[in-house]
A and B are shown apart, each in its own frame.
Chain A
């Protein structure tokens, strides 16, 4: 059911290229849909693996408040985001 809803929210473009959906709430909260795992988890950097790229969030006091097999919610002060292919 949850997977279906993710697919429903994704546009054909995102589905075609397996792109993650990243939703920012200011610089305080980030929700990443389509995550496949956590590569690095530190206070000032969180690196997430997705199907097509590695997304890296830099900031201060970062924490993973919710982790499910496909979705990750990060809270803290995000200063920079990096996409690595």
Chain B
């Protein structure tokens, strides 16, 4: 294979020898050290192959041996180059192609993320960009250790990270930190007090001395569970009180919505701009007239993926949706529905841990707004721990 390549690069001719003394010609070539191969007898002569440079030297030998040389075929780079010598563009194209090939081989075409479960890929890619690790960068300019360190500092949830740049694809392997369980610190002594006024309905005390009874009314900040207990010897013992004290608690809620307000909505009308993305560069090729005004932009990138490898070539579409604003006047029916929805949201998210025992609401109307006033009777845990500082004599 190598020999064939060398022969092709140097260029060789297939020739025939015929005449009076072909054997003498053969011997003359031997003595002059002319290289030839596949030298076989033919009808009245020989045929063989010889380097172009040698063939130019053997004419005097042929004359001496009274033989006639005839070239049958010319093979190799010198003949190829001669054939296309007037087409310099071809050479330029070939050189440019080789340069582009070499240039692209040294770039990162795609970044794959493996092992990310809790950390979102968008956050990771943003961290990659921040640390200078992006599609289109040269592999040689990638300082793996430094980049890994920067990303790890940027995203503390990552325990271990490794960047493997193989061929044109960089694979980022990630191991995330295990979440720490919440530790309940019970070392310090504390009392339990009431968070708000109410009537106690249920008492669950794990530690400490309960100071109230079921059915008793308590005020906010009233002591519910005492952390100080007396031992048989008469000494005082301080414990970390733990308890769940459920009480019926009254609460008011007021929701106000204005009668007229501006509403913003993403409309169906949009303009689209397209661009050709190559590595990290975007070349816009589509223009569309755009009006002034509020817009919501949405970017989509479609990259070519003929095989398993994503090519760094694709189309980026930027779609701008017009945001329309309307001055809306609410009628009473719509306002009631809206207020009820907001009330339901309040019950669900703000008072999710409370049980609603009673609810009464009224929808009123002022000059500029609709008002919902509601009264609740919640049953919820009103226990709040309050740390106490114990001073011993001498301190």
Contacts and interface: CB of A to CB of B under 8 A. Distances in A.
- A interface, over-half SS: strand
B195 to A, nearest CB: 105
Contacts of B40: 63
A68 B30 contact: yes
B23 A40 contact: yes
A64 B30 contact: no
A30 B23 CA distance: 19
A74 to B, nearest CB: 12
Contacts of A68: 30
Contacts of B376: none
B interface residue count range (under 10 / 10 to 19 / 20 to 34 / 35 or more):
10 to 19
B31 interface: yes
B23 A64 contact: no
B22 interface: yes
A31 to B, nearest CB: 16
Interface string A59-74: 0000110011100000
Contact of A37 (B22, B27, B39, B41): B27
A41 B31 contact: no
Interface string B18-46: 00001100110011000000011100001
Contacts of B41: 41-43, 63
A69 B386 CA distance: 111
Interface string A34-57: 000111111100000000000000
B31 to A, nearest CB: 6
Interface of B: 22-23, 26-27, 30-31, 39-41, 46
24 contacts: A37-B23, A37-B27, A37-B30, A38-B23, A38-B26, A38-B27, A38-B30, A40-B23, A41-B22, A41-B23, A41-B26, A41-B41, A41-B46, A42-B41, A43-B41, A63-B39, A63-B40, A63-B41, A64-B39, A67-B26, A67-B30, A68-B30, A69-B30, A69-B31
Nearest to A47: B23
A13 to B, nearest CB: 27
A6 to B, nearest CB: 16
A43 B27 CA distance: 18
A38 B25 CA distance: 10
Contacts of A64: 39
Given A69-B30, A69-B31, 15 more contacts: A38-B26, A38-B27, A38-B30, A39-B23, A41-B26, A41-B41, A41-B46, A42-B41, A43-B41, A63-B40, A63-B41, A64-B39, A67-B26, A67-B30, A68-B30
